[in-house]
Chains A and B, each alone.
Chain A
């Protein structure tokens, strides 16, 4: 009798709890209608309670999904905004007037072409089942990518949400590379080059870091767990290093460095950079794949990283050049955002400030000094900001990652060097080294092939006329009307 009483009391308390949570959601009346009548038998009452509990579990899951899915869809939109118009404006303002549309078109073309490619085969290669290095073809044409969650990737949101969110990353990554070959690549060759790049460099990298069974996947038991919360290696190192390779292969712009080629509109770049900063909340905080506290951590870290880096770049510039420039300030912020990308969901807010500060100063010197030393024409500093910033950020993640923010290796298991796991820095370096290698080798091969088949650079005349006219038959600005 005693244990029966305890059981009934427990069931009764559970019912009360369920009514408080489930009642308002299901409609008070309905919950009341489910309340057991005084004359019903014990078994009937238990059956009713079990159904109530199960209904409530479904409702709670639906509420969780609704919150997570809402955030993830917004994040996907924010990341797309980073490409268009964020990056398009940022890059567009930095080139000469005669190339503004051509530059924006390169990013926009990615928004269109990569989307189609993603649906057809690229998603499958990046996130489908495969081996440690690449996915497969099972999800071609998004077969199997429905509205039910994939528990391994994101348990509370439809797989299609996950797919479309990741698509936005696949769009912006090749778009970043366009900064290195600005003002001199044929539109047709650029399309072929970046499609091949996405297939042979982005897909394997994304799979290794984020895909099931990925070689570097820290969350899903990769052989070398590399901490990359939102794509420091997958997006920034690959694009930045590939950018450098492309800049070297293509050669300098006609007239560089003697001819003056200042940005034609720092105003456009400013607007683009601010859109990038805001959009990056979707890029980093959205990589929590849910609307919970990890998203908060990543959001805060992202913002702090950007701000500290802007301060760092401004300080370095002010000291060295006597003035703080608008272009420098926004470039610093972008550098910080790049560096915090791999770290966003692993570090404390104050660590994010440090990472940002280092990145701001480091990237300043990469862009202002190192580029001049080596003399390469990385027109829009894709390597100086993304390649260098991403590499620095990935390594620093190994230092600052903390299980209190994200117990990715297990609760209270030291994650980064300052927490006691020095080995992680080596793992980070390994991931970065792999990204560098794939990027260099892959990009060289693809560039060589595309060059032989269709040529990469525009003709000297077309370069002088500008891409807007020569590639697209348009003028960016027509003040005469």
Chain B
């Protein structure tokens, strides 16, 4: 089992979600995040004081998939989230030791 963490633009969330559901990935966790890579922030001004805002709004998706599904899931995310400009985001993949369904204690791939 593999965990995919994808930091994407908030405006791409619906597209990515739909793309994953289409290939059979139903479960996911969405977090509202702030961050930046090489993308520059912006300046806000309140009553003459300038505040430079480096932490930009992002969305982080977390999905855990079977080893067989991994490549298709990653490609689906990339295809949906890519615009070609700086700020598109990043994907990180890690191994998952165990998955458990809380309702009925199912464990392993069947719990995904």
Contacts and interface: CB of A to CB of B under 8 A. Distances in A.
A262 B46 CA distance: 7
Interface in B46-83: 46-49, 51
Contacts of B102: none
B44 interface: yes
B45 interface: yes
Nearest to A320: B48
A263 B46 contact: yes
A330 to B, nearest CB: 11
Interface residues of B, number: 7
A327 interface: yes
Interface stretch (A36-44, A79-87, A107-115, A365-373): A365-373
B51 A260 contact: yes
A143 interface: no
B51 A381 contact: no
A474 B49 CA distance: 29
A3 interface: no
A368 B51 contact: no
B40 to A, nearest CB: 17
Interface string B25-51: 000000000000000000011111101
Interface string A320-332: 0101010110010
Contacts of B51: 260, 262
Interface in A355-377: 367-369, 371-372
A325 B49 CA distance: 12
Nearest to A364: B48
Contacts of B45: 321, 323, 325
Contacts of A328: 47
B46 A369 contact: no
Interface residues of A, number: 17
Contact of B46 (A257, A325, A371): A325
B44 A262 contact: yes
A367 B48 contact: yes
Contacts of A323: 45
Contacts of A260: 51
Contacts of B46: 262-263, 266, 325, 327
The winner among B45, B46, B47, B49 for most chain A CB atoms within 10 A is B47
B98 to A, nearest CB: 26
A307 B51 CA distance: 28
A323 B42 CA distance: 14
B44 A368 contact: no
A262 B45 CA distance: 9
Contacts of A321: 45, 48
A367 B46 CA distance: 11
Interface string A326-362: 0110010000000000000000000000000000000
A328 B48 CA distance: 9
A347 B47 CA distance: 30
B44 A372 contact: no
B47 A369 contact: no
A263 B46 CA distance: 8
B44 A369 contact: no
Contact of B48 (A263, A266, A369): A369
A371 B49 CA distance: 11
8 contacts: A257-B49, A262-B49, A262-B51, A263-B46, A321-B48, A323-B45, A325-B46, A368-B47
Interface of B: 44-49, 51
Interface of A: 257, 260, 262-263, 266, 321, 323, 325, 327-328, 331, 367-369, 371-372, 381
Closest 5 CB pairs of A and B: A368-B48, A260-B51, A262-B51, A262-B46, A367-B47
Given A266-B46, A372-B48, A381-B47, 17 more contacts: A257-B49, A260-B51, A262-B46, A263-B46, A321-B48, A325-B45, A325-B46, A327-B47, A328-B47, A331-B47, A367-B47, A367-B48, A368-B47, A368-B48, A369-B48, A371-B48, A372-B49
